């Protein structure tokens, strides 16, 4: 238990569906992140939120839409995805960005797009 909780753990969706991934951290951290992990590829950073403000969008297609209503919660809204978007989506948090502290990861949400 890392203190970062992701739901759902598994999601199957059609290309025309709209769904959301949720992440909650109980560590009192101020920075939260979304990463994508595809088979046989290194982890890819998608979005960065620091004190609820999005500070980075790593050239992610607009069919992925993040939302950070407060420092403890982070969402990833999904719509009109493609089969190649099937992957493990990992949420992570750290005390803040500037301190360069250890990042704590959630257990991930397995997404399959059919």
Give me the residues that bind other proteins (CB under 8 A), please: 2, 4, 6, 31, 33, 40-43, 45, 48, 50, 55-56, 88, 90, 92, 94-108, 110
Looking at beta carbons only, is 10 or 62 nearer to other proteins? Answer: 10
CB of 79 to other proteins, least distance (A): 25
- Asked if residues 61 and 44 have their Cβ atoms less than 8 Å apart, the reply is no
Longest CA–CA span in the chain (Å) reads: 41
* Comparison of 67 and 80: residue with beta carbon closer to other proteins: 67
Residue 89 neighbours by CB under 8 Å, 6+ apart: 6, 21, 34, 35, 36, 37, 76, 108, 109, 111
Please state the closest distance from residue 45 (CB atom) to other proteins, in A. 6
User: Which is nearer to other proteins, 16 or 84 (by Cβ)?
Assistant: 84
Q: Which of 28, 27, 69, 68 is nearest to 47 (CA)?
A: 68
Least Å distance, CB 68 to other proteins, is 14
């Amino acid at each position: 238990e890392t203190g970062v909780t992701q739901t759902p753990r598994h999601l199957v969706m059609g290309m025309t569906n709209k769904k959301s991934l949720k992440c909650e951290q109980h560590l009192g951290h101020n920075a939260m992140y979304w990463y994508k992990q595809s088979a046989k590829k290194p982890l890819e950073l998608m979005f960065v939120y620091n004190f609820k403000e999005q500070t980075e969008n790593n050239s992610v297609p607009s069919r992925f839409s993040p939302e950070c209503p407060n420092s403890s919660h982070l969402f990833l809204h999904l719509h009109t995805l493609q089969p190649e978007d099937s992957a493990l989506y990992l949420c992570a948090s750290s005390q803040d960005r500037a301190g360069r502290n250890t990042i704590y990861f959630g257990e991930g949400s397995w997404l399959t797009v059919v």
